[in-house]
Amino acid sequence: MASKQPKDENTPGKDPDQDPAEPKITDKRRVDPQGETRAPDDDLIEAEGPDVEVADADTALSDEDLALLAGAERDLVAEYRDRAARAEAELKNFRTRVERDRAANRELVIAEVLRTLLPAIDDLDRADAHGDLVEGSPLTLVAQKLRAGFERYGVVKIGEKGESFDPKIHEAIVQVYSAEVTSPTIADVIEPGYALGERLLRPAKVAVSVPEP
């Protein structure tokens, strides 16, 4: 009859406190029944092997792709800079047009106001020609103020006897032949004209002497 061998407590892989007949259960769950996360088991780490970083082939870009993206970015920046420069130029031109139109409208309004005062100036000139404007009289003071206002705005009188006839600023009311002139010349001023800068307020009504045929 064979004798029983004594139990070797140092046998590798054997748990000395475990009954040989009892099966060994290994719980590989990462979360225990109480809901706590367990530390990784060294044996499982060795079995699974070290972590390996794998590059995603779909997201990896080649040097050519990166160059294309850089070029597209530069083109986009250049395009936005060009748009900004054009917008700034258009804004500057718009401001210039606004200022020019504002000045033109201001001159137009002044011209209309001065044009309405021309008949009063004509009456004062006729009164002065007849000697009705006595120095120091109220009417003389009014005439001086009106004429000073015209001068302040740069209004000039048009039409002088003896100057050449210009159909752009003169209106011929009477035409007479004369052997003393070689070209159309103003013989007399019937009603003076006025101009505000380059704007004609009223042409001068004149009598014109023309050479004899």
Q: Of the ranges 26-30, 53-57, 74-78, 94-98, which is most confident?
A: 94-98
Confidence band for 202, pLDDT divided at 50, 70 and 90: very high
Domain boundaries in the chain? 154-213
pLDDT above 70 covers what percent of the chain?
Answer: 71
Tokens describing residue 101: 């139109």
Helices (H), the chain: 42-48, 63-129, 138-152
CA quadruple 13, 16, 17, 19: dihedral sign: positive
Measured CA to CA, the distance from residue 213 to residue 201 in angstroms comes to: 34
Asked if pLDDT for residue 171 goes beyond 90, the answer is yes
Confidence band for 74, pLDDT divided at 50, 70 and 90: confident
Please check whether the domain covering 154-213 is classified as CATH 3.20.20.60: no
Tokens describing residue 26: 């290994």
Residue 47 has what pLDDT? 46
Residue 18 has what pLDDT? 52
Q: Please provide the average confidence, as pLDDT, over all residues in the chain.
A: 78
How does pLDDT run across 5-34, given as a tens digit for each residue?
445 545 444 555 555 555 555 656 555 556
